[in-house]
Amino acid sequence: MLSTYTMNSAFKIPHKPKPHFFVDVDRVLIDFPKMRDGWNERFTKRLGAETLERFKEFYDAHKASWQGTYESLVDQFFIEHADPADVQHVRSIFFDIDYRQFYLPRVIETLKMLHKIGGITIFTQGFTDLQGAKVQPLIDDGVVGAAAICIAKQKTDVIGACLADTGTHQPVVPVVIDDYVEVLEAFRHYAPSAIGVLVYGNHPEQQALIGNAEFPQIVIEQLQDIGRFV
């Protein structure tokens, strides 16, 4: 069993060259199960459990191939399978909501601490409008600027572009903070010097997928625990 905090308790993230932190959203910044349960509860309260199950089935069938926004996917579901008059209610479930309520403990404080020693890119995948709503509080609170948000349909496809767009021409050490081992490994393919940080709190089974005793260098339960290594 891996240590709760790291595979190398003496490891420290270097400050020179300057680190640049690539931080995931779901299960790293956001308590995903809590958010999902909140969505489901609001949906069921407004439209019933049966409509929720039909929407889940529609979403699962279309999410990989859908080329539009999350909002347009919601619209299409109601055009095809439910009362279009209800679509605005469902939009509000996902978009008229303050996502701060789903942030994990000390997320804002931790990001501000990391920003003092390096750059930050919020690096996430999914629908641009939905992921953008989740991180809007970070922009509103001045934690990061809009230019520091990188959202892709499949983020492993744009790692090279995000590495090239760190906002500095100086050498940086990429520090990748994610809840998926495969994303950390993909980053290391592009940047062998990358430091991997696995956050497993919402994804405990990911620990069993680590195949290298030296990577990721840091394994933590929640983002706030990274303070031990800076």
Q: Where are the domains of the chain?
A: 18-31+103-229, 33-95
pLDDT digits (tens, 9 = 90+) for 108-140: 999 999 999 999 999 999 999 999 999 999 999
Q: Are strands 119-125 and 18-23 parallel, antiparallel or unpaired?
A: parallel
3-state SS, residue 73: helix
Residue entry with tokens 């750059």: 119
CATH among 3.30.420.40, 3.40.50.1000, 3.90.1150.10, 3.40.605.10 for 18-31+103-229:
3.40.50.1000
Q: 136: closest CA among 109, 167, 161, 102? A: 102
- What is the number of other CB atoms lying within 10 angstroms of the CB of residue 22? 27
**Which pLDDT band holds residue 9 (cuts at 50, 70, 90)?**
low
DSSP state of 210: -
Of 153, 129, 137, residue with least CA distance to 104: 137
Secondary structure (3-state) at 19: strand
Task: Over range 199-219, report the average pLDDT.
Answer: 84
pTM of the entire structure? Answer: 0.91
Residue 1, pLDDT > 50, answer no
Token readout for 63 is 């999410």
Distance (Å, whole) CA 3 – CA 173: 24
**Residue 218, number of CB atoms within 10 A of its CB:** 25
pLDDT of residue 33: 95
